[in-house]
Structure 1
Amino acid sequence: MELFGTEGYVNVSVKKICDEAGLTQRYFYESFPDRVNLLAAVYQHCVDIARSATIAAATEVIDRAGVADGPVPAAVIPILAEEALGGFINSLVEDPRRARVILIEVVGVAPEIEKLRLGAIHDWADLIAGFASNGRPTTPKQKLAAIGLVGAITQLLVDWQMALTDPINEQAGPDLFQVDSVHEVVTEMFVATYDKIFG
């Protein structure tokens, strides 16, 4: 994670990984067939941390609302969205390497990584739909809405990451993509989608 999350996947060779870890290349190849498989493992590790933070934040809201065994009241949804999304975003902010791996380094590397990344997007969408549908079966329209929300959240966070390190232009710098603003916007998007499609 250190190397992929600071120097970038394309700049990190197996030799560099082994030198950083103090291991021989033979040991590396006993654990992973290639760098792509290592990147997949690092990515999955980062996603697992972000998912745990998201679920923990959501669970805390649900517990405070006293609805652990029943549907979440509509009045609690804005708080649930804000806290759950905050848990996710904070898990990226607290470790910029994790953010870079999840948002930047895995994109377009290899077909198997792309499949893993798209699978994670659908898993996030299922999580969102599960919270929003309150245990009811999810309709195709709701599933599409949840995937769209994940796409929007992901793109805004990709832009936030790029704004910190390599903005695409002067207008797309850190002043526009402040993490608190991104959090506020994606929360409002979630609540609006809930009201329109899930509520």
Structure 2
Amino acid sequence: MTGQRTYGGVSADERRTQRRAALIGAALDILGTQGLDKLTVSALCTGAGLNERYYYENFDGRDAVLSALFDTIAEELAAALIAGLHAAPDDTRAKAHAAITAGIGVLTDDPRKARVALAVSTATPELRTRTTHTIKAFANLVAAEGIDFYGIAEAEPDALIGFRANYLVGGLVHTLSAWLQGDLPMTREDLVDATTDIFVLLGEDLARGLRR
């Protein structure tokens, strides 16, 4: 019972969750403002205001911290996309524009998150693989939402749906990386509009082709 005691109305599990979140928050701040080489156990614990033993309670190394932070940002991004999509009017362009605006907003409203996404995605082979799997997960999300929006029957061929979803998401990740690094001289609004144009064009074209 000792390990599960409640202090101040907060259970042991809740305290562990809070400590983990504090460490991830510290990692975001360090990576987003100072860089990967500054991400040490000591810096993390100082930033989180925790004893080092709590670091080892949650993570077995730096890659584990990076993975947890990357996943946290990806989850926030997915939630923002879905919220934007579902809140928009029932119109192809409105939905695409709202989802893209929300997603890009996550990475640009807090510039630390964009820096982390860029740094983590190339940090180690394991993290590069994780990035690939995350892109695939977002492509699956785009495909599922497209199938639902256009009313595409499950029996219809899905190879082209998967191809276009992966093409769109992979292309957006590459383009967004270039834009964040200053290689594309566009405003955020121009980037959102141009991306929306491509998503709508390929989505509408695919839907028409599958309905023939």
Of the two, which has the highest radius of gyration? 2
| Larger CA deviation: 20-29 vs 32-41 | 20-29
**Structure 1: how far apart are the matches of 2:45 and 2:59?**
12
Q: What is the rounded CA distance, in whole Å, between the counterparts of 1:184 and 1:145 in structure 2?
A: 19
For residue 145 of structure 2, the aligned residue among 131, 139, 152 is 131
- Aligned twin of 1:192: 201
Unpaired stretches in structure 1, ≥5 consecutive residues: 66-75, 164-171
Equivalences, count: 176
* TM-score calculated relative to the size of structure 2: 0.76
Q: Given that residues 4 and 101 in structure 1 are in contact (C-alpha distance below 8 angstroms), is that contact kept between their aligned partners in structure 2? A: yes
Aligned to 2:47: 20
Which residue of the other structure, out of 172, 185, 189, is the alignment partner of 1:180?
189
- Alignment match, 2:84: 57
1:81-96 maps to which residues of 2 (within 5 A)?
A: 81-96=96-111
Deviation at 1:108, TM superposition (A): 2.3
State the shift of 1:31 in Å: 1.1
Question: Partner residue of 1:114?
Answer: 128
- The equivalent of 1:100 in structure 2 is 115
TM superposition outliers: structure 1 runs of 4+ over 6 Å? none
Query: Is the alpha carbon distance of 1:13 and 1:128 closer, same or farther for their aligned partners in structure 2, counting shifts above 3 Å?
Result: same
Structure 1 residue 161 corresponds to structure 2 residue 180:
yes
* Aligned-residue identity in percent: 26
CA deviation map 1:111-158 (0-9, x unaligned): 332222111101111111112222533611211111111111111211
1:142 to 156, 161, 165: 161
- Mapped contact 1:142–1:198 kept (Cα < 8 A): no
Q: State the alpha-carbon separation in 1 of the partners of residues 140 and 58 from structure 2.
A: 31
Q: Per-residue displacement from partner, 1:30-74 (whole Å, max 9, x unpaired)? A: 21000110111111111111111110011112xx43xxxxxxxxx
Q: List per-residue Cα deviations over 1:146-193 (Å, max 9, x = no partner).
A: 111111111121122211xxxxxxxx36xx132111111111110111
Q: TM-score, normalised by structure 1?
A: 0.81
User: Higher relative CO (CA 8 A, sep ≥ 6), structure 1 or 2?
Assistant: 1
CA contact (8 A) 1:159 1:177 kept: no
